[in-house]
Amino acid sequence: MDNTFNDNTDAPSLSALKADVQQLKSDIAQLMDTIKRTATDATAGVAYDAAAVPSDKLDELSLCIQERPLKSVAIAAGVGAFLGIILLR
């Protein structure tokens, strides 16, 4: 008995299957492009947020130093002396 599928009843289903596979390939390519764009946008947003946080904190620190310069110098001197003692041991 011959197990090959050479009759005409399989031709439409085979061509339909090929079309479905082609459509699936196209859909996957579009999905990958969407994922790539989304990931790029998300990465840019995270990088922007990460850069904004230190800037905000530096602005806050700068304002604090301007408001209390003597206290800021005393704190800096104390931290420097503390680190100097620790590092000399």
pLDDT digits (tens, 9 = 90+) for 23-53: 999 889 898 888 888 877 777 776 666 666 6
Query: Mind listing the pLDDT tens digit for each residue in 3-27?
Result: 555 555 556 688 888 888 899 998 8
Q: Report d(CA 76, CA 78) in Å as an integer.
A: 5
Task: Tell me if 1 is assigned to some domain.
Answer: no
Task: Tell me if 32 is assigned to some domain.
Answer: yes
Task: Tell me if 78 is assigned to some domain.
Answer: yes
Task: Tell me if 39 is assigned to some domain.
Answer: yes
Dump the DSSP string for 16-81: HHHHHHHHHHHHHHHHHHHHHHHHHHHHHHHHHHHHHHHHHHHHHHHHHHHH-HHHHHHHHHHHHH
Q: Report d(CA 10, CA 32) in Å as an integer.
A: 33
Tell me if 72 sits within 8 A of 65, measured CB to CB. Answer: yes
Task: Tell me if 21 is assigned to some domain.
Answer: yes
Rounded to two decimals, the pTM is 0.40
The total of structural domains in the chain comes to 1
